[in-house]
Amino acid sequence: MVRTTSFFVCQSCGAQTKKFFGRCSSCGDWNSLIEQSAQSIDGRLRRNSVDFDQEPRSIKSMPMASLKENPLLRLGSGYQEFDRVLGSGLVPGSLVLLGGDPGIGKSTLLLQSATAMAISRSVLYVSAEESAQQVKLRWNRLKGAETNLHLLAETDLENVLKELESLRPEVAIVDSIQALHDAELSSAPGSVAQVRECAAALQRLAKKLSIAMILVGHVTKEGLLAGPKVLEHLVDAVLTFEGDRFASHRLLRAVKNRFGATNELGVFEMQGRGLSEVINPSKLFLSGTSAAGIATIVACEGTRALLVDVQALVSSTSYPSPRRTATGVGTNRLHQILAVLEKHMGFPLSRYDCYLAVAGGLEVEEPASDLGIAAAIVSSFKDVSLPKGTVLIGELGLGGQLRPVGQISQRLQEAERLGFNRAVVPRGSGLESIGFLKSIELIQVVNINEAIIMSLEVDK
Ligand code: TYD
Ligand code: MG
């Protein structure tokens, strides 16, 4: 029997009704009524299991300087790449939301990590989407070590909360928040009201019992996290797991992280027996060949520099307006670079189609890759390959000038480590102080003209 302990609350004016209406009778807004449980409306805490007000607190502000800091305790996830994105591990009492396309490997990643963590601590894996048998099959496939991992296949929020409270694990994983269901609400699982109530109840318990919790979240067709935006505000970190379904590598990123940097990147590879870490990802994004139209750039993802090949194909067009397609780089950037090349180097690129692709399906958003993209285009246009072992770093201005970019020493170090011996960089990158580069010849240039001549060794 469904208990009617819920209300519908207008998100615009706050009016409450017992029944659902398409339009708020108070302010007249359409589709603004969202279901909420009665307790969460009166501000009282629902479920006697969660009670913050056990001991009276004295409410007083205090000088910032007198506040004692507690060092953040971190629980390692068992995977170096996962820890890097989390900011060196999970924080007890925090909530992490992991989103990603269906089938990308969220459950696999978390089951592997849970198994690894369960060697030294108690871990509960709540599977709301798959049955215990299904999880066990996957676990066998992953050849999980015999550890103290607990599994609960349950979709009812109340039961999940009870189990969490009796087991009191250090780490809990909920796969997925959209499949959990609070019987006090009449809305369907996965609806805004359900997702919000379930996540809030889990968060209260996580805080109270100091459980590090990871929630799996679905993404919508547009690639956004499904459910209310409130969910993203509620959790401490939002991670996304992405990758090409047709390629085997997967990228883990932090979109929001209260306990670490947000631009860190973790790289995994999906194999027959689960995900394995890719400690040296530059190898994944380098083709290792040198041909016309290929240039190597150094992209920075957080504290990590990655060497990546970009490929361009320029061919005369048979269309009234030429085709421009870019994968891994924004089309606007491609248009801009083509326009600069046409204007400042005189190449008649408006009569040519141009296709651009970043190897390995990586998205390169940094302006530091401009020079490499420009060089790949010119190399394909001229049908001359760039000399082997050359990296190109630099942001291209509209006037054809090259601007220095950040983290240059880190980029050059990575290039040197991978055996590259020539780097074309903007003049004024502050390289005078870098004394450690032994095997890289630095070519400092001021504009695109000079850069192309120096790197291609052709005259236009
Ligand atoms: P899964 O973790 O179920 O994805 P999600 O939870 O994000 O929906 O991943 C499923 C995919 O991963 C599936 O297409 C099969 C593949 N896979 C492997 O290639 N190797 C493996 O060892 C496992 C467990 C899955
Ligand atoms: Mg799954």
Residue 120 Cα to ligand 1 midpoint, Å, equals 25
Lowest pLDDT segment from 9-18, 19-28, 352-361: 9-18
| Residue nearest ligand 1's atom 8 by CA | 103
Give the mean model confidence (pLDDT) for residues 86-104: 92
| Torsion angles phi and psi, residue 131, rounded to 5 | -75, 165
Is residue 367 pLDDT above 70, yes or no?
A: yes
Give the mean model confidence (pLDDT) for residues 202-208: 94
| Residue nearest ligand 1's atom 9 by CA | 105
Helix or strand or coil: residue 422? strand
User: How far, in Å, CA of 442 to CA of 111, rounded?
Assistant: 46
CA 374 → CA 224, 305, 383, distances in Å?
32, 20, 14
| Torsion angles phi and psi, residue 408, rounded to 5 | -65, -40
User: How far, in Å, CA of 34 to CA of 44, rounded?
Assistant: 19
Residue 429 Cα to ligand 2 midpoint, Å, equals 46
Is residue 49 pLDDT above 70, yes or no?
A: no
| Residue nearest ligand 1's atom 1 by CA | 105
DSSP class per residue in 101-128: -TTSSHHHHHHHHHHHHTTTS-EEEEES
Residue 216 Cα to ligand 1 midpoint, Å, equals 14
- Ligand at minimal distance from the CA of 98 is 1
**pTM of the predicted model, to two decimals?**
0.79
pLDDT digits (tens, 9 = 90+) for 158-204: 999 999 999 999 999 999 899 999 988 888 888 888 898 899 999 99
Residue 104 Cα to ligand 1 midpoint, Å, equals 6
Residues facing residue 425 across a β-bridge: 444
Give the mean model confidence (pLDDT) for residues 115-144: 92
Contacts of 47 (CB under 8 A, 6+ apart): 39, 158, 161, 201
Is residue 397 pLDDT above 70, yes or no?
A: yes
Residue 55 has what pLDDT?
Answer: 57
Q: What percent of the chain has pLDDT over 70?
A: 92
Helix or strand or coil: residue 413? helix
| Residue nearest ligand 1's atom 14 by CA | 103
121 burial (CB, 10 Å; 0-12 / 13-18 / 19+) is: middle
Is residue 239 pLDDT above 90, yes or no?
A: yes
- Ligand at minimal distance from the CA of 275 is 1
Give the mean model confidence (pLDDT) for residues 428-454: 82
Residue 4 has what pLDDT?
Answer: 54
Residue 178 Cα to ligand 2 midpoint, Å, equals 11
Is residue 50 pLDDT above 50, yes or no?
A: no
Q: Which of 40-49, 215-224, 333-342 has the highest mean pLDDT?
A: 333-342
User: To test ligand 1's pocket by mutation, which of 270, 271, 273 has the most ligand atoms within 8 angstroms of CB?
Assistant: 270
pLDDT digits (tens, 9 = 90+) for 118-130: 999 999 999 999 9
Residue 457 has what pLDDT?
Answer: 65
Residue 94 has what pLDDT?
Answer: 94
CB atoms within 10 A of CB 323: 12
Residue 279 has what pLDDT?
Answer: 85
Is residue 107 pLDDT above 60, yes or no?
A: yes
| Diameter over CA atoms, the chain | 81
- Ligand at minimal distance from the CA of 140 is 1
- Ligand at minimal distance from the CA of 105 is 1
Q: Which residues hold their Cβ within 5 A of ligand 2, which is an ion?
A: 107
Is residue 237 pLDDT above 80, yes or no?
A: yes
- For the CA of 102, the closest atom of ligand 1 is 8
Residue 20 has what pLDDT?
Answer: 87
Contacts of 5 (CB under 8 A, 6+ apart): 37, 38, 39, 184
Residue 105 Cα to ligand 1 midpoint, Å, equals 5
* Mean pLDDT for all residues in the chain: 87
CA 398 → CA 78, 195, 322, 377, 403, distances in Å?
46, 47, 21, 17, 11
| Residue nearest ligand 1's atom 2 by CA | 105
Q: What percent of the chain has pLDDT over 90?
A: 51
Residue 41 has what pLDDT?
Answer: 54
User: How far, in Å, CA of 153 to CA of 179, rounded?
Assistant: 11
Helix or strand or coil: residue 443? strand
- Ligand at minimal distance from the CA of 115 is 1
Residue 101 Cα to ligand 2 midpoint, Å, equals 9
Q: Is the dihedral of CA 163, 168, 178, 267 positive or negative?
A: negative
pLDDT digits (tens, 9 = 90+) for 265-308: 899 999 888 999 988 888 778 887 788 999 999 998 877 888 99
- Ligand at minimal distance from the CA of 129 is 2
Place of tokens 């020079």: 371
User: To test ligand 1's pocket by mutation, which of 107, 108, 241 has the most ligand atoms within 8 angstroms of CB?
Assistant: 108
Helix or strand or coil: residue 401? strand
Contacts of 365 (CB under 8 A, 6+ apart): 330
Helix or strand or coil: residue 410? helix
Residue 137 Cα to ligand 1 midpoint, Å, equals 12
Residue 436 has what pLDDT?
Answer: 66
Beta strand residue intervals within 226-385, DSSP E:
237-243, 249-257, 265-271, 274-277, 294-301, 304-316, 324-327, 352-358
Q: pLDDT-based confidence at 245, cuts 50/70/90? A: low
Contacts of 177 (CB under 8 A, 6+ apart): 97, 195, 198, 199, 202, 215, 216, 217, 227, 231
- For the CA of 101, the closest atom of ligand 1 is 7
What is the 8-class DSSP label of residue 90?
A: B
Q: Which of 43-57, 58-72, 292-306, 376-390 has the highest mean pLDDT?
A: 376-390
| Residue nearest ligand 1's atom 25 by CA | 274
Residue 370 Cα to ligand 1 midpoint, Å, equals 36
Task: Name all residues whose Cβ lies below 6 A of ligand 1.
Answer: 100, 102-108, 138, 141-142, 270, 272-274
User: Cis omega before residue 176 (within 30°)?
Assistant: yes
